[in-house]
Structure 1
């Protein structure tokens, strides 16, 4: 690895020396006679050098990133632009490639940037090219869009909520954490207060909405089983209390209740039994993984849905907001 970096240093120094010599020669020639071709070549040379310099900085030191969704509100707002440290957890040799110097893992509460585990790749060439263009233009140009022109999320920004060896489960929007080797679970707000952690993670849904959402999930299970006419009256009545609600919905809780009810309606289905048990027992975070969650717990597609992510897919840590100017400052 030392030889690798010595080779990079040699190539860089040689390139810079030759470039400076060429610039000196061009200045000498320019003083004698300026030509359109010479001016264009000079500008092109400067642009190419700047792009290469920006790519190296973005790949190995820090990257600029624009927040695309409200999953981290109020900590990070949509269209906030942030600096991402690319040296915090090791350095990728190339976008999506092997990491080196990865001797530090995310700490609890770090705001991490990682590859979306549900990302549908268009192929390695396109993936690398889109990353290069995104980095070279300081996140201003993103060619990785869907058929409707919307930006596809190759990278996610979330908070490291649970670490290897821990178990985390959710009920009515609240996370409950059990430490490695422990049997009891502690509600996330209490856990955060006891350990002097960030107060960024929060819930905005009114707790009184959850009975109606649970009833909605249960009624969906009856509908799936073609037993809508057998649904208990109390479920229908409770759902009617929120039937006209048009705000945020905790789809994780809806799915949990739907699965639990489906298992009760068909206890012989082993797949349903396993899925229902997962919601009750929670998600175990294996060593070498981290569980990412959004601060805006009621409006975040995160580890609740796709599970813990491998540490080698975590590429950096958000350390600073630089735009808009009235929100400039550190991130915690």
Structure 2
């Protein structure tokens, strides 16, 4: 009878020890997930059509939050930034501090030099054929220190630096790296 009691208490201790190990592993996993989400990578849902054709409404992507601790945003990067306290936007970096941005006759100029926007070629041609321009004339506008100038790829339907002004680099959350949803559209961005 004494052996049975001893065996039962050993099983209880072993069960408690195993449960404690599982709790510790779960705790470490939660802390690691929070660390990754806070400092390294975060999911983001594209809400709206301002980045079409590059990104479509409802696509989910992974944003690299670490990259801008290592380097500054550069033209062509697709970034997520805090537009307001409640809303984050996703747009393409067009120019960085000290550069001058201008659009004339549907052609983007940075510091007076034309910029090839191959990602918009088809849409510019369609706009021309339909009798309008994709990007209305604006500028020249010089980007102030510590800021970037951003625009959506859907130039006719985008609230971007042409409306809200240059974006402070400190409000940038990170760079879009990977589209993860829908599954048939998984790709590096």
TM-score (norm 2): 0.75
Distance 2:29 2:11 in 1: 23
How big is the shift at 1:199? 1.5
1:329 maps onto 2:187 in alignment: yes
Aligned twin of 1:105? 72
* Residue 166 (1) aligns with residue 79 (2): no
2:6 is aligned with 1:74? no
Which structure shows the higher helix fraction? 1
Mapped pair 1:292 → 2:150:
yes
Please, what is the CA RMSD of the aligned residues?
3.3
User: What does residue 319 of structure 1 align with?
Assistant: 177
> Separation in 1 of the partners of 2:58 and 2:13?
44
Return the offset for 1:318: 0.4
| Match runs of 1:9-24 below 5 Å | none
TM-score, normalisation: structure 1? 0.45
Alignment length (residue pairs): 176
Q: Distance in 2 between matches of 1:48 and 1:198?
A: 47
- Aligned counterparts, 1:118-133, within 5 A: 119=84, 121=85
Q: Which runs of 5+ in 1 are unaligned?
A: 1-26, 34-38, 91-102, 122-151, 211-249, 257-278
Q: Any conservation in 1 of the 2:74–2:95 contact (CA below 8 Å)?
A: no
Listed one character per residue, the Cα deviations across residues 62-86 of structure 1 (whole Å, up to 9, x for unaligned) are: 0011101111111111111101111
In the alignment, the residues of structure 2 paired with residue 200 and residue 30 of structure 1 have an alpha-carbon distance, to the nearest angstrom, of 66
State how 1:115-154 maps to structure 2 within 5 Å.
115-116=82-83, 119=84, 121=85, 152-153=86-87
- The answer (yes or no) to whether the contact 2:54–2:119 under 8 Å persists in 1 is no
Kindly provide the CA deviation profile for residues 197-225 of structure 1, in whole angstroms up to 9, marking residues without a partner as x.
65257446455257xxxxxxxxxxxxxxx
> After the TM superposition, which parts of structure 1 deviate over 2 Å for at least 4 consecutive aligned residues?
27-33, 41-54, 169-172, 200-210
Q: Which runs of 5+ in 2 are unaligned?
A: 1-9
